Amino acid sequence: MTAVPVSIQTAPPASTGLGAARMPSTGALLDTHGRVHRDLRISLTDRCSLRCTYCMPEQGNEWLARESILSTDEIVRIAQVAADAGITTFRLTGGEPLLRRDIVDVVRRLAAIQSPDGPVQVAMTTNGIVLAEHLDALIDAGLSRLNISIDTLQRDRFAALTRRDRLDDVLRGVAAAAASGLRPLKLNTVAMRGVNDDEIVDLVSFATGHGAELRFIEQMPLDAGHTWNRSEMVTRDEILAALSERWSLTAVPGRGGAPAERWMLDGGPATVGVIASVTAPFCGACDRLRLTADGQLRNCLFSTHEFDLLPTLRSGAPDESIDDALRRCIWAKLPGHAINDPSFLQPDRGMNAIGG
């Protein structure tokens, strides 16, 4: 069968750490800076059951067209090609991935995929609202790891921040995850000045009490309304200063390509993490690639360029064309996201349409 060309939006040329090397057509998913990619973030939907103020408007959201959303067969096909090329972890995101009706089947089919190094891991990031109802089935299907987003422990504050009064549901989801024994268990918090920065210690104590690691995330310019304001962001150093008033922090070595820097609390075993994409970027070790719910490959969370897989998937093209798209997308990856450069442009898509 003749390969059908992949539809690609031209990306600016990357300055290369490999000189004029040709893009490898086999082997590891390598970019021009020597980074090997092993993690594929798969967004299952742009829809969400919350309307967090830092992510999306309460009303007037323009959702992806239903016919453009990848089917489960299409997702699994891309995932198998990616695994054959060395991807070892799939993280399911949204929007809210648990809004997908066939979510358990998606997890089961992805968990059955083998990479050259053995079985893949399937992780998920969720807002936790309906987690308690689905968790047993997800674990039976092969879910390996779980992140739950929770930005406050105060009910009124949660309702104001998410525009939904659903904190009790999230707390039930956290409790179910803690009781399940699924580890590691991580709770994600976006730290915001004047919103929840007075809960930094309380949130960590809550997490450790549930056998989880709290991971603070610097607020990033990924809101659909493009209203991000750097002055409202609580920085890595401010978070660590607040934590140091309660605990002695010891850095955990061996970060590798992980987005979070981690510290032991009072010598451990409890830990806390900080993802400082703005003030302490970790682009040099990034091993992540993203697939949006409508079939767009993105080589960076902040990329303004996408590689459209839909024409390839729906034209009868062979798997080699998908592999080529993955490699071209990664080969075009820039050294970093340039948030701190005056030339930085925020992506047109909001976080809910990109996937975490």
Q: 224 vs 80, which has greater pLDDT?
A: 80
The one-letter amino acid code at 27 reads G
- Give residue 342's pLDDT: 52
Among 215-224, 294-303, 305-314, 343-352, where is mean pLDDT lowest?
343-352
Q: pLDDT tens digits for 44-91?
A: 998 888 888 777 766 767 778 889 999 999 999 999 999 999 999 999
Average pLDDT value over all residues in the chain = 87
Among 18-27, 179-188, 210-219, 276-285, where is mean pLDDT lowest?
18-27
The one-letter amino acid code at 321 reads S
Average pLDDT over residues 111-125: 95
DSSP 8-state assignment for residue 68: G
* pLDDT bracket for residue 277 (50, 70, 90): confident
* pLDDT bracket for residue 12 (50, 70, 90): very low
- Give residue 62's pLDDT: 74
Q: pLDDT tens digits for 320-334?
A: 999 999 999 999 998
How many Cα neighbours within 13 Å face the side chain of 350?
A: 24
The CA-based angle 214-298-51, given to 5 degrees, is 50
- Give residue 278's pLDDT: 86
Q: pLDDT tens digits for 290-316?
A: 999 999 999 988 788 899 999 999 999
